[in-house]
Structure 1
């Protein structure tokens, strides 16, 4: 930040010298708006205000030191320059405040979306946690029986104890995943393996996939490049798309329920994610509105899932779109930039 401030001060000094040495008729001071605009984009608002005040002071000082030209014309140019500096600073600071407010709102929406997804996944979470807990209870009973034998069968008891430890770790991992999804935090992009993010997301929907008899197809080639993304927000996007696909698949017979998830390296610095279902599909008139906030075709939907997904993907420098799937159903596809780090699945 210090180097940026010094560079802007040097620019303002050059403008001051030029404004002082030129005639009144040449309004060089108006170029201070370039420094103000740069400051608003690169430096804190407080620094921008200080540089604006300095620009006003330098403009007045230059006018007082100028000795050539028509004085009356100089007064007009002085007024124009000061007005331009003031208006530019005001608008620039308003834009900075608006961007900050938008970022705060976006972070709150991310947190709301995570909480909403958590509610929808409650049944799956209960199932995922109950499985290892039931296995622990079974192993504990077996361990007790092996120890009650005369003589105690310590080898079998140790095996049962190890199974209890493994199942306890499984339950802990499920809880850790849910806690990560629901915690509000600032976006922290890093190298994320696409396959890992997909498997983590599917783990949260495992019960629904099994209960709804969904045929799952994964197309995850070896050596996929890592993408540059926040891992939790990437799971949020995938979770929204998978959740919507499952809702659509409930409208067709179990024998026709297929969910396909694919990732491919686009060769243009992006990785392409596709979530495709064999549900009822989307109509041509619905496609343009899918990503609008609060627009939904569900009776109990809030209409935020896809809007949040688009915000997340866009914030990461990517794009998202919806298309009819080949044959029947819907295809949601998004792309994210490939990480520059040497990380692969």
Structure 2
């Protein structure tokens, strides 16, 4: 999609290049409408980036959000100062040079912010303090800088170099020099971001920077670019650029909200089914033990009456007590059978692919893997082998092993965190899922105890996770072992019997 948008802008630029100097009439309402929309889009984008920072507190996101605040603010301030927008001579500044200086600040602060982001994003600088406090400090710093620069351009513009000659509205040589400089700055930032690209955010920031280049080229090529074909086209490209990242972030939020809604629906359905199972089990228990309990109560009353009689009949008391014992045994058998029924209902092994379960767990842990900057390498076989196990329980086992690996790599340098997941078939009858990390490993004296209940190497661990995981795997005639461990990391292996699909 990004390539298609860039190709479309190139095609439009090529078609309109011969007419770039042609004046097509002055439409005073065009600039305030377009740039006000651009300002709103930039500020909304900054808001979404701040929201993403509150979830993933990488300082590079603060820099990008600051760049969008600079862009949106200076774009709106240029609209206020532009002649014919909200007033014949603009609302602020002089008629000629204040709008040009706001344009320069607009397209200087934004690419410089993106350049800072490109240089900071791979250093893994994560804010350790309050995210709200970091956002507040960033906003105050950015708004203070905008206020100071705006005052300078409005009150002291006569002391600044001039981009347009007074009255004739012709560009000075300095204007062309600045346009060339801004073009070079945009291209340099685009090149740096291209070399250091890693994420979808990098990709769409590149498209945004590319869409801003026509503004400078038009101003450099056309002597008086205002209200020409090239001027209108460049503003149109800038409008598209303002909505690039905003559209991507909104789309991502929509997808995540949809996934969250589906997860909540499934969770509620599972809870409802659980309540139905509990109600059914409770009804079954009540129905089955009501009769024995009634018999016990009746026999106890009868035995008490017999004992208080003047000549108690001990043989009858003996028979009554025997009935009470038999009834209590029937109650115990009823409870045992219902518990067995409930246990069997929650453990329903089916034929599943262990690789599919591993992929599902990776999707569940995607955010945690990205936050901890763990590189995942999968080495799955060509054909996914099938095993016989309960999908939910197997998922919990693999999830626990993945989370253990992530926690084990907490002290590993970020560029060295690797989670290698692979499968292979041994002796055509056993499928082996290996989970290898580059953490600190398990010490030799603890290797034989990691699967013991209540033994843990974590400061806040309960020591039950691996023990439960091994019990679950052994229930399906498999095994869970620590394959190898050392200073370079650990490898846990799950082995389960292969079942045929037919």
Please, what TM-score do these two structures have when normalized by structure 1?
Answer: 0.48
Higher relative contact order (CA 8 A, sep 6+): 1
